[in-house]
Amino acid sequence: MSASLTVLVPAYNEGEGLREFQRRTLAVLDGLALSTRILYVDDGSSDDTWSVMGDLARADARVGVLKLSRNFGKELALTAGLDHCDSDAVIILDADLQDPPELIPQFVARWQQGADVVAGQRLERHGESWLKRATASAFYRVMASLASTPVPRDTGDFRLMSRRAVDALCGMRERQRFMKGLFAWVGFRQEALIYQREARFAGRSKFSYWRLWNLALEGITSFSTLPLRVATYVGVLTSLAAFGFASWIVAKTLLWGESVAGYPSLMSVMLFLGGVQLMALGIIGEYLGRLYMESKQRPLYLVDVHAPAHGSASTTVDAD
Ligand code: UDP
Ligand code: MG
């Protein structure tokens, strides 16, 4: 039996572009000497994505579909998809054709040469604003200096993973999921494949700056406790400075006496300390909040409908 490959496609309101996606992807898969499948994950879309997926699944027996009960976000849509793949390798592809399916054979070749993870690394970002490029670059720099497992630069979710890498990833059931970090954490033999990221085929990006900022916070807090330590150091430094300043005031008063003055200095010290305390509390709060969410042990996502690809056999639809 030949090795199997699943192309995993998370989609949220991508109805417009999916047909073109399937046309291009199947054309590539046809040329591979593997048993191939496509698994679409509908992440609670509000447009016609789900009905388009239904059509696409009917049109080709290699296509399976999974519908989540609501919009859980790309990270969880990916997790759901990976949980429902049983092939020897999985390739994650965005539905918007920003990651060209024509590169799949190159990924597969690297995998067949023994790589466990082949990650697409963006050479240039076409169709993305200057601001997005600058913020993304800043983020990778911060992550590199904070996190204990460095996140490779400019690698998105476009990647191929071997069975054991997928299994390792599926073993991590944390709710605050920062996939880029988890991918890196898994380890094994990881390789980068440089490619040009295209502009979107249709629709628009689902990631607003606010969402990206929150994703960045998620990344930092799930892979580093350094901010907590920074809060400690800032506290220690401020106490030392305060101690020095207090000694100086006592000495000054003893030596020269004190006429009541110093409202400005009093005020600035008070405000400064107040600010430092609030900041430290905020940092602790960020971590505590995540601990709280984690402690609830809710399921990561809920599946509405799962209709796996059925090859040439009859359709099976199970709702769970
Ligand atoms: N996506 C998803 N759930 C979401 C947001 C996005 O499944 O809540 C999918 C989306 O349909 C696309 C991929 O994730 O296939 C990447 O999204 P997008 O193109 O908006 O991100 P960008 O390329 O701008 O980073
Ligand atoms: Mg995109």
Best probe residue, ligand 1, of 96, 98, 197 (max atoms within 8 Å of C-beta): 96
Q: Which is more confident, 50 or 282?
A: 50
Q: How, if at all, do strands 155-162 and 89-92 pair? A: antiparallel
- The ligand placed nearest to the CA atom of residue 18 is 1
Q: Which pLDDT does position 195 carry in this prediction?
A: 84
The continuous run of DSSP H or E covering 280 comes out as: helix 263-295
Closest Cα partner for 276 from 229, 225, 234? 234
Tokens matching residue 13: 């309101």
Q: Which pLDDT does position 248 carry in this prediction?
A: 84
pLDDT digits (tens, 9 = 90+) for 263-314: 777 877 788 788 788 878 888 888 888 888 888 888 889 988 888 887 743 3
Q: Which pLDDT does position 84 carry in this prediction?
A: 93
Non-local (6+) Cβ contacts of 42 within 8 A are: 11, 12, 49, 50, 53, 65, 66, 67, 68
Flag whether pLDDT at 80 surpasses 90.
yes
**Confidence band, pLDDT 50/70/90 cuts, at residue 61:** confident
The ligand 1 atom nearest the CA atom of 77: 7
Flag whether pLDDT at 315 surpasses 60.
no
Do the Cβ atoms of 156 and 196 come closer than 8 Å?
A: no
pLDDT digits (tens, 9 = 90+) for 163-195: 999 999 888 888 877 888 888 888 888 888 888
What is the percent of the chain with per-residue pLDDT over 70, rounded to a whole number? 94
The CA-to-CA distance between both ends of the chain, in Å, stands at 30
**Confidence band, pLDDT 50/70/90 cuts, at residue 317:** very low
**CA 245–ligand 1 middle distance (angstroms):** 53
**CA 197–ligand 2 middle distance (angstroms):** 9
Q: Which pLDDT does position 31 carry in this prediction?
A: 85
**pLDDT, mean of residues 227-247:** 82
State the pTM of this model.
0.72
**CA 119–ligand 1 middle distance (angstroms):** 17
Q: Which is more confident, 187 or 21?
A: 21
Ion ligand 2 residue ranges (Cβ < 5 Å): 94, 96, 98
Q: Which pLDDT does position 127 carry in this prediction?
A: 63
What is the percent of the chain with per-residue pLDDT over 90, rounded to a whole number? 26
**CA 129–ligand 2 middle distance (angstroms):** 13
Q: Which pLDDT does position 41 carry in this prediction?
A: 95
Q: How buried is 93 (Cβ within 10 angstroms: 0-12 exposed, 13-18 middle, 19+ buried)?
A: buried
Q: Which pLDDT does position 313 carry in this prediction?
A: 37
Per DSSP (E only), the strands in 109-216 are 117-125, 155-162, 190-197
- What is the rounded average pLDDT for all residues in the chain? 83
The ligand 1 atom nearest the CA atom of 10: 7
Q: Which is more confident, 269 or 80?
A: 80
Range ranked top by mean pLDDT from 21-25, 121-125, 169-173 = 21-25
Q: Which of 11-15, 109-113, 169-173, 193-197 has the lowest mean pLDDT?
A: 193-197
> DSSP 3-state assignment of 68?
strand
Q: Which pLDDT does position 1 carry in this prediction?
A: 59
